[in-house]
């Protein structure tokens, strides 16, 4: 994909970065190739070394080059990361899985659906804790501030690279699930069939999941755990699981790096009535 250049009065360091970026994308500068030296770029662009180094910093933050501190700048190979696909139907697929036999539920959970990785091939950690509902969470669940919630922290990592593959924090009102003691113990994770099957065991069926999506700057710790390049944002998806009684029964905040996440959205449109008024080209728009 061709990179989009800045327009208008563009600083020289951005123009230098644009030209080098184009050469990397086109293959004129292949992986491992050394970039022209700072002095060569100075002469080419009739600028200072500070300007050239600013251009290289832009490309370094984009993850396109490596080097610095005395090492020559070279084109960086793309990091091998697991792509994440969030299709518009994957949670409905999870709901259908709830009614399948345990053996089938054990083979296909959320991580298989979004990353295509068998659960046995990753390191999976799960931590439960009982917390008091904050003002925000109390409003989300329509409960009193201080009501007991179960907080669940899920993290999955690649044992080969040590990088994070999935991470989320969710909350469930404790009173909804305490009827099944197995739902209170994180040692029972990973749960065959995921959270929808857990809710099913206490008589809760989900009717819909409402989601909101924002992009935020990651912390240095998040970048390290995900193996993210500087300048790459984190996508945060808040999912509200709503049951057939129109109650929010679970709230989940999941994080995904923007450089490897594809979100598919589909919205069904209501058909016009059969006798709708056709547009008349002779009359135009009146």
Q: Are residues 64 and 120 in the same domain?
A: no
In this prediction, residue 278 carries a pLDDT of 85
In this prediction, residue 273 carries a pLDDT of 92
C-alpha to C-alpha distance for 109 and 91, rounded to whole angstroms:
10
210 phi and psi, to 5 degrees?
-95, 135
Q: Are residues 128 and 58 in the same domain?
A: no
Does 270 reside within a domain?
A: no
In this prediction, residue 169 carries a pLDDT of 97
Per DSSP, the three-state class of 81 is coil
Does 240 reside within a domain?
A: yes
Neighbours of 241 (CB within 10 A): 22
C-alpha to C-alpha distance for 18 and 260, rounded to whole angstroms:
23
254 versus 87: the higher-pLDDT residue is: 254
In the numeric block, the tokens 């984009």 are attached to 62
Q: Are residues 91 and 142 in the same domain?
A: yes
Give the side-chain half-sphere CA count within 13 A for 165.
Answer: 26
128 versus 263: the higher-pLDDT residue is: 128
Given a cut of 80, whether residue 79 has pLDDT beyond it is no
212 phi and psi, to 5 degrees?
-130, 145
Neighbours of 269 (CB within 10 A): 5
Q: Are residues 213 and 129 in the same domain?
A: yes
Q: Are residues 217 and 89 in the same domain?
A: yes
Confidence class for position 258, pLDDT limits 50, 70, 90: confident
Per DSSP, the three-state class of 96 is helix
In this prediction, residue 68 carries a pLDDT of 67
In this prediction, residue 29 carries a pLDDT of 92
What range defines the domain where residue 48 resides? 12-75
184 versus 113: the higher-pLDDT residue is: 184
C-alpha to C-alpha distance for 38 and 276, rounded to whole angstroms:
67
């Amino acid at each position: 994909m061709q990179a989009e250049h800045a327009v208008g009065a563009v600083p020289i360091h951005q123009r230098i970065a644009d030209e080098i970026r184009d050469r990397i994308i086109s293959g004129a500068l292949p992986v491992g190739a050394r970039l022209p030296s700072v002095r060569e770029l100075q002469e080419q662009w009739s600028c200072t070394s500070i300007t050239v180094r600013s251009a290289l910093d832009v490309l370094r933050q984009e993850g396109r080059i490596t080097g610095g501190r005395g090492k020559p700048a070279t084109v960086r190979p793309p990091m091998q990361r697991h792509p994440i696909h969030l299709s518009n139907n994957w949670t409905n697929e999870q709901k259908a899985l709830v009614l399948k036999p345990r053996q089938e539920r054990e083979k296909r959970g959320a991580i298989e659906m979004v990353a295509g990785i068998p659960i046995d091939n990753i390191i999976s950690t799960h931590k439960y804790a009982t917390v008091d509902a904050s003002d925000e969470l109390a409003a989300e669940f329509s409960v009193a501030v201080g009501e007991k919630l179960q907080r669940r922290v899920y993290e999955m990592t690649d044992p080969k690279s040590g990088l994070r593959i999935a991470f989320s924090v969710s909350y469930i009102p404790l009173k909804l699930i305490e009827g099944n003691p197995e739902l209170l113990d994180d040692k029972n994770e990973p749960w065959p069939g995921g959270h929808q099957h857990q809710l099913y065991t206490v008589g809760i069926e989900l009717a819909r999941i409402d989601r909101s999506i924002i992009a935020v700057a990651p912390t240095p710790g998040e970048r390290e755990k995900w193996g993210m390049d500087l300048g790459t944002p984190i996508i945060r998806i808040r999912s509200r699981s709503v049951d057939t009684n129109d109650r929010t029964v679970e709230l989940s905040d999941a994080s995904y790096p923007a450089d490897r996440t594809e979100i598919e959205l589909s919205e069904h449109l209501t058909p016009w009535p059969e006798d709708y008024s056709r547009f008349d080209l002779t009359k135009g728009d009146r």
